[in-house]
A and B are shown apart, each in its own frame.
Chain A
Amino acid sequence: MRSSLPVRIFSAAVTLALALILLDGLWHFFSWAIVHAVWSVPRGADGAPDTDLCRAAIGRGACWAVIGEKFRFILFGFYPHALQWRPAIVVALFVLLFALSLNPRFWRPALVAVWLAVLALVAVLMWGGVFGLDFVAADQWGGLPITLILATFGLALSFPLAILVALGRRASGLPMIRWLAVAYVELIRGVPLISLLFMASVMLPLFLPEGIDINKLLRAQLAFILFAGAYLAEVVRAGLQALPRGQQEAAAALGLSYWQATRLVILPQALRHVIPMLVNTFIGFFKDTSLVLIIGIFDLMTTGRTATLEPRWQGFGNEVYLLLAAIYFAFCFTMARISRLLERRLNEPHLPIEEPA
């Protein structure tokens, strides 16, 4: 249907106005980020950077010098300077692992082994203390590796937990298991993540027998796994509930055991139904790792904030936050892409076609 002339003129005017506003905004950003930006600052007599140039540009241009000066701290926190190649490799390993997992050609059982191997390698590289690597205590770790470790280990471990809990919640004939699963999900969901982190960092040590000390990062990791597990369990349960009963019955009638039916028939379908919701939870969870700052763990967000606390660099938070945003976006966007890819890949052959051949 063709619109009348006045309507078309009006919509053209709106489009033009919006384009102008957008262009103006882009131009301002471009002018700030590129044209008037300060890319580096000279060093003073004492060898420390002299930030007067940046101060002069405040309001007009970005001070990218702060990134150049601080990026190692932002990325790796207080990890010993000379050993930062180790967390650098860890980050590269994670990125490689994600890239590998992105490619459908590698979706086979061996990928699980690769994941386990990489996770072990990450532990070795971060801690050291073996193979001639210097030992680095976990409280010296910081920055991007912390974020990636919390998120990756968290998801890798909470996902199987979530599946077990979701299955347990539907276990007929096992009221105790069902009750436990419900209690777990409701308890964890009913509490903010921050209070879980506090409990893990402050209260958990009180309950442990004397002499046993789990380090803070591990405790935070535990809290994250429990937290994500509860939410993911609900997502998985939604997928299980979407399946017609007949699938379980057909599998049972063929003689498949409960676990065979679950693994070969039920889960492949249930999980594929909820991929968007799963990835949504993954992404939210990735960003939630930044909450560890409240228990004094230096994840990427915290190292970024800390970098601009130095008097010399105070006032240049915008630049740092932009960098952090770019890093977070890169990872979250990648996850969103994986999700789309998985959906397309898994659903394609099953779409009903109009004409049965």
Chain B
Amino acid sequence: MSGPAIRFEDVHKWYGRVHVLRGISLDVASGERVVLCGPSGSGKSTLLRCINRLETHEKGRIVVDGMALSDEPRALKAIRREVGMVFQSFNLFPHLSVLENCTLAPIRVRGLGRAEAEARAMEYLARVRIPEQAGKYPAQLSGGQQQRVAIARALCMQPKIMLFDEPTSALDPEMVREVLDVMVELAESGMTMLAVTHEMGFARQVADRVVFMDQGEIVESGPPGEIFSAPRSPRLKSFLSQILHQH
């Protein structure tokens, strides 16, 4: 595929009269790992959710995997097939077992046979290191395990792009590591990744680029080393001092 994996061209969004995205332009190359950070309310999650149209943008253009986002159902479905997403609150399907969570979409959307889907699910569950939990239900797992299942569920669709929306924010501190480890491994496998996270250690370790957003705008972006050690804008400086103060 030529061209970027994701391209934002002057994207705007309003919630009623609140202007939450103000002219975002950003390219994410295939295989690139980008971390989005910024204070809460800066629009970073909204931006992420625009990529698979969980949110609609009102102005501008978003191109994903060469396809422009629109309400046209077939194009939307094609894009969602190629974009996996991991949510802050896991959003596993509680009425389905771990294995069924992982096979539902491959069977219904990709058209895989049950046996093939299950084999694939077991492969990814092994990759996130919980194959032994396949028969359990989400409520029987810890938060960290649930989030790893959620990652496996997204990977089972074999997407080209993975989106992470604050994947560790709802976790108890001792479970953050196990989820980050899986994400690092995934990053090292060459997956195109876009993650909203406050885990600066993760950003330093795997990100090719850190994008700092505030009040609906991209304020600064660059390699993690530059962003963290030589922030230019006062907004980023104050954000970093707050973040580092916490940790």
Could you tell me which A residues sit within 8 Å of B by CB distance? 244, 246-247, 249-257, 260, 264-265, 268-269, 272, 346, 349-353, 356-357
Contact A260–B139 (Cβ < 8 Å) = no
Contact B93–A246 (Cβ < 8 Å) = no
Enumerate B46-74 residues with CB–CB distance to A below 8 Å. 52, 54, 73
The contact string, 1 if C-beta is below 8 Å from chain A, for chain B 79-93, is: 011011101010111
Contact B95–A255 (Cβ < 8 Å) = no
Contact A244–B89 (Cβ < 8 Å) = yes
Of the residues A254, A264, A346, A350, contact of B154 by C-beta under 8 Å: A254
User: Would you call B141 an interface residue if the criterion is a C-beta within 8 Å of the partner chain's C-beta atoms?
Assistant: yes
Of the residues A252, A265, A346, A356, contact of B93 by C-beta under 8 Å: A265
Instruction: Enumerate the 7 nearest inter-chain pairs by beta-carbon distance, A residue then B residue, closest first.
Output: A250-B91, A254-B105, A246-B91, A356-B142, A253-B85, A255-B80, A255-B109
Of the residues B80, B91, B109, contact of A247 by C-beta under 8 Å: B91
User: Would you call B157 an interface residue if the criterion is a C-beta within 8 Å of the partner chain's C-beta atoms?
Assistant: yes
**Given A249-B54, A260-B108, residue A352 in contact with residue B157 (CB < 8 A):** no
Least CB separation from A356: chain B residue: B142
Query: How many A-B pairs fall under 8 Å by CB?
Result: 78
Enumerate B135-180 residues with CB–CB distance to A below 8 Å. 136-142, 145, 153-154, 157
Contact B136–A254 (Cβ < 8 Å) = no
Contact A350–B109 (Cβ < 8 Å) = no
Could you tell me which B residues sit within 8 Å of A by CB distance? 52, 54, 73, 77, 80-81, 83-85, 87, 89, 91-95, 97, 104-105, 108-109, 133, 136-142, 145, 153-154, 157
Of the residues B104, B137, B157, contact of A350 by C-beta under 8 Å: B137
Contact B137–A349 (Cβ < 8 Å) = yes
| Chain A interface, >50% SS class | helix
Q: How far is the CB of B91 from chain A (nearest CB, A)?
A: 4
Least CB separation from B49: chain A residue: A249
Chain B residues, CB < 8 A from A254: 80, 84, 104-105, 109, 153-154, 157
Least CB separation from B51: chain A residue: A253
Contact A256–B105 (Cβ < 8 Å) = yes
Contact B91–A255 (Cβ < 8 Å) = no
Contact B94–A269 (Cβ < 8 Å) = yes
In this complex, the member of B54, B73, B141, B154 whose beta carbon has the largest number of chain A beta carbons within 10 angstroms is B54
Chain A residues, CB < 8 A from B136: 357
Q: How far is the CB of B80 from chain A (nearest CB, A)?
A: 4
Kindly state the separation between the CA atoms of A353 and B142 in the bound complex, as whole angstroms: 10
Q: How far is the CB of A312 from chain B (nearest CB, A)?
A: 59
Contact A253–B54 (Cβ < 8 Å) = yes
Chain A residues, CB < 8 A from B73: 257
Least CB separation from B92: chain A residue: A250
Q: How far is the CB of B76 from chain A (nearest CB, A)?
A: 9
Q: List 30 A-B contacts (CB under 8 A).
A: A244-B89, A247-B93, A250-B85, A250-B87, A251-B93, A253-B80, A253-B84, A253-B154, A254-B104, A254-B109, A254-B154, A254-B157, A255-B77, A255-B81, A255-B105, A255-B109, A255-B157, A256-B105, A257-B77, A260-B109, A265-B93, A268-B95, A269-B94, A269-B95, A349-B137, A350-B94, A350-B139, A351-B139, A356-B145, A357-B133
Of the residues B77, B93, B108, B109, contact of A250 by C-beta under 8 Å: B93
Contact A253–B145 (Cβ < 8 Å) = no
Contact B91–A249 (Cβ < 8 Å) = yes
Chain B residues, CB < 8 A from A352: 139-140
Least CB separation from B146: chain A residue: A356
Kindly state the separation between the CA atoms of A251 and B93 in the bound complex, as whole angstroms: 9
- Known A247-B93, A257-B73, A272-B95; further 16 A-B contacts with Cβ < 8 A: A244-B89, A244-B91, A252-B52, A252-B80, A253-B52, A253-B87, A254-B105, A254-B109, A255-B80, A255-B109, A260-B108, A269-B93, A269-B94, A350-B138, A353-B140, A357-B133
Q: How far is the CB of B1 from chain A (nearest CB, A)?
A: 19
Chain A residues, CB < 8 A from B95: 268-269, 272, 346, 350
Kindly state the separation between the CA atoms of A350 and B140 in the bound complex, as whole angstroms: 7
Kindly state the separation between the CA atoms of A351 and B136 in the bound complex, as whole angstroms: 11
Kindly state the separation between the CA atoms of A260 and B108 in the bound complex, as whole angstroms: 8
Chain B residues, CB < 8 A from A272: 95
Chain A residues, CB < 8 A from B133: 357
Chain A residues, CB < 8 A from B94: 269, 350
Kindly state the separation between the CA atoms of A346 and B73 in the bound complex, as whole angstroms: 33
Contact B54–A264 (Cβ < 8 Å) = no
Least CB separation from A348: chain B residue: B137
Of the residues B87, B104, B105, B139, contact of A249 by C-beta under 8 Å: B87
Kindly state the separation between the CA atoms of A353 and B140 in the bound complex, as whole angstroms: 6
Chain B residues, CB < 8 A from A244: 89, 91
Q: How far is the CB of A256 from chain B (nearest CB, A)?
A: 6
Least CB separation from A260: chain B residue: B108
Q: How far is the CB of A253 from chain B (nearest CB, A)?
A: 4
Kindly state the separation between the CA atoms of A250 and B150 in the bound complex, as whole angstroms: 10
Chain B residues, CB < 8 A from A268: 95
Q: How far is the CB of A349 from chain B (nearest CB, A)?
A: 5
Least CB separation from A266: chain B residue: B93
Chain A residues, CB < 8 A from B91: 244, 246-247, 249-250
